[in-house]
């Protein structure tokens, strides 16, 4: 027979997660992470570990914990699961948020987590890929193939725009804003939605925009059914997906997965001799941020281009001219500083078009 206290907790957890996303504006990823932590907490209460040092002493109902037991769960027990102090911070936030909500909506529930203290954790410095490694990485895809053009586009958008993985893979074709820059040349900006559901319009370096045109116009691309129910089209698509029936392999099912992109970057980094500790998409985002800082891009522009959360930068962003962002990206983005056969060819083509 199901534990009634666990059933009540799970029902409350469902309501809180819905409230957190719909009323409090938290992202789906954050809500999912918090849910996982709280489900782990409930399992710890209802099925305590055999080691008495790691088991709750006074809590039998997950809706009515003691502060001491919450401290044990968030501290020693989580440490035994190899969670670092920094990894335990969102766990504590989940406990504090849930019980603050439950105490105000559930009769007889006290906010035992109100005094729960966040573990001290230093903020690690981001580690960026070096320019010479990024140059070698861009030379690994074979751009005579559709797959190589697609992978090159993905790598260039990480490097030249600083996109997060979640934002890049969720792009649809409607996010591409083609326009004319202040030199009357075709230019591209991408409307991206990332962490915290924040949206920004990101200027794209000319090299990346040109290759994206080639990707979209590739004959293999035209044959891929990537149209969504609203008429939009998935931007970055897969070539094979054995987990999907051929009859269902269209539209959203064609969207490239985060796991695939991570693996692609890892494999191409290995081919290029890039160090393992920066062989991931976020190191390319850090490259973009590092190069902006190296070229003394203003703090406000830097925050805007990186999509960092800040009330001040959000307010100022609406008043910054897109042409200024375009000039800053064209001047300081890492693609403009690299050399290689692909980039040289794109620049030669660009000069020929301008002539």
With bands split at pLDDT 50, 70 and 90, how would you rate the model's confidence at 56?
very high
> Measured between alpha carbons, how far is residue 278 from residues 142, 162, 164, 169 in Å?
22, 15, 15, 20
CA distance 111 to 100: 6
pLDDT in tens, 151-210: 999 999 999 999 999 999 999 999 999 999 888 889 999 999 988 778 899 999 999 999
pLDDT above 70 covers what percent of the chain? Answer: 94
CA distance 207 to 41: 49
pLDDT in tens, 63-82: 999 999 999 999 999 999 99
Q: Quick one: tokens of 265?
A: 């970057």
On whether the CB atoms of residues 156 and 138 are closer than 8 A, the answer is yes
What residues does CATH 1.10.150 cover in the chain? Answer: 4-115
With bands split at pLDDT 50, 70 and 90, how would you rate the model's confidence at 111?
very high
Q: Quick one: tokens of 270?
A: 């290995």
CA distance 313 to 296: 17
On whether the CB atoms of residues 45 and 59 are closer than 8 A, the answer is yes
> Measured between alpha carbons, how far is residue 91 from residues 40, 47, 127 in Å?
10, 19, 25
**Residue 128 burial (CB count, 10 A):** 21
- Which CATH number is associated with domain 4-115? 1.10.150
Q: What angle do CA 218, 154, 292 make, to 5 degrees?
A: 135
pLDDT attached to residue 319: 42
Of 245-249, 278-282, 286-290, 335-339, where does mean pLDDT reach its minimum? 286-290
CA distance 78 to 44: 10
pLDDT in tens, 184-200: 889 999 999 988 778 89
What residues does CATH 1.10.443.10 cover in the chain? Answer: 131-354
Domain 131-354 classified CATH 1.10.443.10?
Answer: yes
User: What is the SS3 string spanning the chain?
Assistant: CCCHHHHHHHHHHHHHHHHHHHCCCCCHHHHHHHHHHHHHHHHHHHCCCCCHHHCCCCCCCCCCCCHHHHHHHHHHHHHHCCCCHHHHHHHHHHHHHHHHHHHHHCCCCCCHHHHCCCCCCCCCCCCCCCHHHHHHHHCCCCCCCHHHHHHHHHHHHHHHHCCCHHHHHCCEHHHEEEEECCCCCEEEEEEEECHHHCEEEEEECHHHHHHHHHHHHCHHHHCCCCECCCCCEECCECCCCCCCCHHHCCHHHHECCHHHHHHHHHHHHHHHCCCHHHCCHHHHHHHHHHHHHHCCCCHHHHHHHHCCCCHHHHHHHCCCCHHHHHHHHHHHCHHHHCCCHHHHHHHHHHHHHHC
CA distance 157 to 215: 13
Q: Quick one: tokens of 90?
A: 């969102």
- 316 burial (CB, 10 Å; 0-12 / 13-18 / 19+) is middle
State the number of CA atoms in the 13 A half-sphere of 225 facing the CB. Answer: 8
pLDDT attached to residue 325: 66
pTM exceeds cut of 0.85: no
């Amino acid at each position: 027979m199901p534990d009634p206290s666990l059933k009540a907790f799970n029902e409350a957890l469902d309501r809180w997660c819905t409230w957190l996303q719909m009323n409090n504006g938290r992202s789906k990823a954050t809500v999912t992470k918090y849910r996982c932590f709280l489900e782990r907490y409930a399992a710890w209460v209802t099925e305590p570990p055999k080691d008495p040092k790691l088991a709750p002493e006074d809590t039998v109902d997950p809706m009515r914990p003691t502060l001491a037991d919450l401290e044990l769960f968030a501290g020693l027990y989580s440490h035994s699961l190899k969670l670092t102090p920094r990894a335990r911070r969102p766990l504590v936030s989940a406990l504090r948020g849930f019980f603050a909500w439950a105490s105000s909506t559930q009769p007889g529930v006290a906010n035992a987590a109100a005094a729960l203290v966040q573990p001290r954790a230093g903020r690690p410095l981001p580690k960026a890929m070096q320019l010479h490694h990024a140059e070698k990485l861009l030379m690994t895809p074979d751009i005579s193939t559709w797959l190589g053009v697609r992978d090159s586009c993905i790598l260039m958008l990480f490097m030249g725009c600083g996109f997060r993985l979640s934002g890049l893979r969720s792009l649809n074709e409607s996010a591409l804003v083609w326009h004319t820059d202040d030199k009357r040349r075709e230019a591209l900006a991408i409307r991206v939605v990332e962490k915290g559901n924040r949206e920004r319009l990101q200027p794209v370096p000319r090299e990346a925009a040109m290759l994206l045109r080639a990707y979209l116009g590739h004959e293999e691309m035209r044959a891929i059914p990537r149209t969504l129910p609203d008429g939009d089209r998935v931007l970055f698509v897969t070539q094979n997906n054995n987990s999907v029936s051929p009859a269902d392999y269209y539209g959203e099912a064609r969207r490239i997965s985060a796991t695939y992109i991570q693996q692609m970057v890892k494999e191409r980094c290995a081919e290029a001799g890039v160090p393992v500790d920066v062989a991931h998409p976020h190191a390319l985002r850090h490259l973009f941020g590092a190069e902006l800082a190296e070229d003394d891009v203003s703090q406000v522009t830097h925050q805007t281009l990186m999509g960092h959360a800040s009330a001040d930068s959000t307010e100022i962003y609406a008043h910054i001219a897109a042409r200024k962002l375009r000039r800053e990206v064209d001047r300081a983005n890492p693609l403009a500083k690299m050399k290689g056969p692909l980039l040289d060819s794109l620049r030669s083509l660009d000069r020929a078009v301008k002539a």
